[in-house]
């Protein structure tokens, strides 16, 4: 792959073409399963919930979020799944939709200002997407919090002047707003990824993390941030609705008493780890979106079709924005987006 100059995704494409949509392969010492068939992927991930993760995956998340749903076995995981379930409920996601649309609007405004600076040249967008995703996940604490992109709009481009571009003709517009949370999570995820590279990871992986000052620093920063949000939420007067999905934020939802006996659903450590999992999920979403915007410009026809799909959805729901989410999740209405 290195000699041919192909990317990992291109290499997977060649494998699928040669060997079919379901492939087992070794990456280093680890066996991996490549599934390029949509029906089979849905069967595994949606219809059958009991998917066995290799021990290495649990070992990867154990130092970071040991008491989250990612690191718990058996009945403990079932309890966490029951409590966390409403956070992915369509009703709750639909209620949160205006906040997501507002973030998207600010992101477009940011890119519009960048475009006016660079003209017909390109600019990097991966950090913007990462920040936007992180902000939405940070707002699991409270959706009305000020977000990083607002500061980016006011500080980033004020006196910026276009400088000489590099060989790839991509203009580097620096982000002046502080992003320690984003950088910290990116560092933590890089560190835990070492579990797949180290020999004898059950011994070397804990030692590798313990010897890393940046690991301890960033883990403390994130836990302190989340702990402050938990303390703030407990001090607030929360009007408990009839349903968990009536909550104004994910944190408020997780602090609701158990409907069966009125006790707390999570202890402090469990709550901390589940909120940290939300931050990590935001980092992952940002990375996926970054890959999307990197490769999308290479196919003008796909851009056109996707643009037409989005216009159809948003133009049809101007009077009732609550229908956006349902239409965007309908593969028959947005086949290009689904692909």
The reported pLDDT for the residue numbered 70 is: 62
Kindly indicate the confidence band of residue 100, based on its pLDDT and cuts at 50, 70 and 90.
confident
- pLDDT digits over 13-49, tens only? 788 888 888 887 776 666 677 777 767 666 665 555 4
Please state, in angstroms and rounded to a whole number, the distance separating the CA atoms of residues 321 and 98. Answer: 8
The reported pLDDT for the residue numbered 285 is: 64
- pLDDT digits over 278-300, tens only? 777 666 666 667 667 766 666 77
Q: For residue 32, report the phi and psi dihedrals to the nearest 5 degrees.
A: -125, 150
Beta bridge partners of 35: 22
The reported pLDDT for the residue numbered 134 is: 65
- pLDDT digits over 63-83, tens only? 887 777 665 655 666 666 676
The reported pLDDT for the residue numbered 63 is: 82
- pLDDT digits over 301-324, tens only? 777 888 888 888 878 777 776 677
The reported pLDDT for the residue numbered 24 is: 78
- Does residue 118 have a pLDDT over 60? yes
Please state, in angstroms and rounded to a whole number, the distance separating the CA atoms of residues 12 and 185. Answer: 28
Residue 300 and residue 306 in contact, taking contact as beta carbons nearer than 8 Å: no
Kindly indicate the confidence band of residue 213, based on its pLDDT and cuts at 50, 70 and 90.
very high
Sequence-distant contacts of 79-83: CB under 8 A, at least 24 apart: 80/266, 80/270, 80/274, 83/254, 83/265, 83/266
- Does residue 206 have a pLDDT over 80? yes
The reported pLDDT for the residue numbered 112 is: 82
The reported pLDDT for the residue numbered 127 is: 72
Kindly indicate the confidence band of residue 214, based on its pLDDT and cuts at 50, 70 and 90.
very high
Range in 1-15, 43-57, 115-129, 168-182 the model is least confident about:
43-57
| Most distant CA atoms of the chain, gap in Å | 65
**What's the mean per-residue pLDDT of the chain?**
71
What token pair was written down for 115?
């475009």
Residue 255 and residue 275 in contact, taking contact as beta carbons nearer than 8 Å: no
Please state, in angstroms and rounded to a whole number, the distance separating the CA atoms of residues 198 and 62. Answer: 16
Spatial CA neighbour of 234 closest among 254, 258, 260, 219 = 254
Range in 74-78, 84-88, 126-130, 229-233 the model is least confident about:
74-78
- Does residue 2 have a pLDDT over 60? no
The reported pLDDT for the residue numbered 142 is: 46
The reported pLDDT for the residue numbered 148 is: 45
Most confident of 61-65, 140-144, 210-214, 309-313: 210-214
The reported pLDDT for the residue numbered 121 is: 75
- Does residue 161 have a pLDDT over 60? no
What token pair was written down for 257?
């008493």
- Does residue 5 have a pLDDT over 70? no
Range in 132-141, 181-190, 193-202, 313-322 the model is least confident about:
132-141
The reported pLDDT for the residue numbered 69 is: 64
The reported pLDDT for the residue numbered 217 is: 93
- Reduced to 3 states, what is the DSSP secondary structure of residue 82? helix
- Reduced to 3 states, what is the DSSP secondary structure of residue 228? helix
Q: In the chain, what are the domains?
A: 1-51 (no CATH), 53-298 (1.10.630.10), 300-339 (no CATH)
């Amino acid at each position: 792959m290195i000699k041919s100059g192909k990317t990992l995704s291109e290499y997977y494409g060649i494998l699928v073409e040669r060997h079919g949509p379901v492939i087992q392969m070794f990456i280093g010492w680890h066996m991996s399963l490549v599934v390029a068939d949509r029906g089979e992927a849905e069967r595994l991930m949606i219809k059958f919930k009991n998917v066995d993760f290799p021990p290495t995956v649990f070992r990867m998340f154990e130092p970071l979020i040991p008491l989250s749903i990612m690191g718990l076995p058996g009945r403990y995981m079932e309890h966490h799944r029951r409590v966390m379930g409403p956070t992915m409920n369509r009703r709750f996601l639909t209620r949160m939709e205006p906040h997501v649309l507002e973030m998207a609007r600010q992101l477009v405004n940011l890119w519009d200002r960048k475009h006016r600076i660079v003209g017909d040249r390109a600019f990097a967008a991966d950090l913007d997407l990462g920040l936007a995703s992180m902000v939405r996940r940070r707002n699991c604490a409270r959706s009305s919090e000020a977000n990083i992109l607002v500061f980016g709009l006011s500080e980033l481009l004020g006196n910026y002047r276009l400088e000489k571009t590099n060989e790839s003709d991509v203009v580097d517009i620096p982000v002046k707003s502080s992003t320690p949370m984003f950088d910290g999570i990116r560092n933590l995820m890089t560190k835990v990824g070492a579990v797949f590279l180290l020999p004898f990871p059950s011994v070397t992986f804990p030692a590798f993390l313990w010897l890393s000052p940046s690991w301890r620093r960033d883990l403390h920063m994130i836990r302190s941030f989340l702990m402050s949000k938990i303390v703030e939420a407990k001090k607030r007067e929360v009007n408990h609705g009839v349903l968990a999905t009536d909550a104004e934020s994910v944190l408020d939802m997780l602090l609701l008493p158990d409907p069966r006996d009125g006790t707390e659903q999570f202890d402090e450590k469990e709550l901390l780890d589940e909120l940290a999992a939300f931050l990590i999920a935001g980092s992952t979403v940002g990375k996926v979106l970054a890959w999307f915007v990197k490769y999308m410009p290479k196919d003008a026809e796909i851009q056109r079709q996707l643009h037409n799909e989005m216009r159809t959805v948003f133009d049809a729901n101007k009077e009732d924005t609550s229908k956006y989410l349902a239409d965007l999740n309908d593969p028959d209405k947005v086949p290009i987006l689904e692909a």
